[in-house]
Structure 1
Amino acid sequence: MGKIEMIISNLQKRKIPAKYFEKAEDAKKAILEEIKKEEVVGIGGSMTIHDMKLHEDLIKAGNPVHWHWLVEPSERNGVRQKAATADVYLTSTNALTEDGELINIDGVGNRVSGMFYGPKRVIVICGINKICSDIISGIDRIKNSACPPNAKRLGLKTPCAETGICNDCLSQDRMCNITTIINHKPMTVDLKVYIVGEELGY
């Protein structure tokens, strides 16, 4: 059994359905076919979703899309709340262990909370660059490969934005405020994971 097959098997043991797609375009097509036109879609902050342009195709299809990245700062909290109760919630994960656990670090918390409470269905898209051997290596990956470039992209005044490595800071702009590990299917949310054989996001 290859690594991807093993991860999918381990996710399924945790009652989390999973699929593998060679290309992001293949995953995108499957997601667009899966979401009905009348369904409301919420999106958590995700460069993967942004780069795949999923939001653009959903809007063109007529789906109501709630994503705080698409509105002015003054409107973001309201949009985050609408996304939290959507029919379908789309996001990525910061790390996926070989044992099938999803690890995420968030600043506000809307993205991670939407993965396990609120929406009816959640689809998590994971590029192969997010796969890690275990929880420890997953957290290390997030703090040193995901958060620093993300902080720099957002113009945050954190040490990692300057140095490129985590300093476990207590700065005002700190984005490593909430860490979650999904060990098993959330009780009230249908969660599935789509693994893509390309590097996606941070």
Structure 2
Amino acid sequence: MDEKILLTEKNLKGNGFQVKTFESSKEAKEALMESISINESIAFGGSMTLLELDIYEEFKSRGNEIYWHWKGEDKKKELSEAYNSKIYLTSTNALTLDGKLVNMDGTANRVSSMFYGHERVYIIAGRNKICKDYDSARERIRNIAAPKNAQRLNINTPCKFTGKCTDCDSADRICNVEVIIHKNPSGANINIYLIDEDLGY
């Protein structure tokens, strides 16, 4: 197991999060399927990590009530229904070695659901999301995650073309809301699955 994962796990637990580590995405998927019952409704936040895991298809074929605006025909309906789900699944833009979650969003549906409104939240992250500190986490978001997402969405932001954040004023800007979760908030049940693989961006 990567030493960075073990240190991050220790500090996340110290900050009140529930944390499990896995050698592979296959093991993490199996644990996730066991942790969530067929009777629980599930919402997905936008995440390339979850897309790569193919976990949406697993839950759907099993029969769970499931919502993901990346998959549903009616995006607005999927987003609306997601707020009422018991379970929320997503990834994080970055994790710091001292056990914090750092995220940037365009509309804030994902980041708000990470800590409020759901019975349980599962955040799945590969080792590539682990950063030394807040500054390196923010650098990762600005110059890795955001440009790649801009390219994926084919939106008109400078970072789509340059691969670097310029703190733009574009109407298509996707870095509008920044959230740092320092510790597990009161009443929240945040479960973090760390996987010793590179997943998402």
Q: What is the TM-score when the length of structure 1 is the normalising length?
A: 0.96
Q: Is 1:47 aligned to 2:48, yes or no? A: yes
Question: Structure 1: 5+ residue runs without aligned partners?
Answer: none
Alignment of 1:1-202 (within 5 A): 2-72=3-73, 75-202=74-201
CA RMSD of aligned residues (A): 1.2
What amino acid is aligned across from residue 191 of structure 1 in structure 2? I
Measured in 2, the distance between the counterparts of 1:24 and 1:188 equals: 28
* Secondary structure of residue in 1 paired with 2:88: strand
Determine if contact 1:16/1:191 at 8 Å carries over to the other structure: yes
Measured in 2, the distance between the counterparts of 1:183 and 1:192 equals: 14
* Secondary structure of residue in 1 paired with 2:161: helix
- The count of corresponding residues between Structure 1 and Structure 2 is 200
What amino acid is aligned across from residue 181 of structure 1 in structure 2? I
Determine if contact 2:86/2:120 at 8 Å carries over to the other structure: yes
Determine if contact 2:5/2:127 at 8 Å carries over to the other structure: no
Measured in 2, the distance between the counterparts of 1:171 and 1:119 equals: 32
Measured in 2, the distance between the counterparts of 1:198 and 1:76 equals: 30
Q: CA deviation at 1:112?
A: 0.4
Identity of aligned residues (%): 44
Q: CA deviation at 1:156?
A: 0.4
Determine if contact 2:124/2:194 at 8 Å carries over to the other structure: yes
Question: Structure 2: 5+ residue runs without aligned partners?
Answer: none
Determine if contact 1:85/1:120 at 8 Å carries over to the other structure: no
* Secondary structure of residue in 1 paired with 2:28: helix
Measured in 1, the distance between the counterparts of 2:100 and 2:66 equals: 28
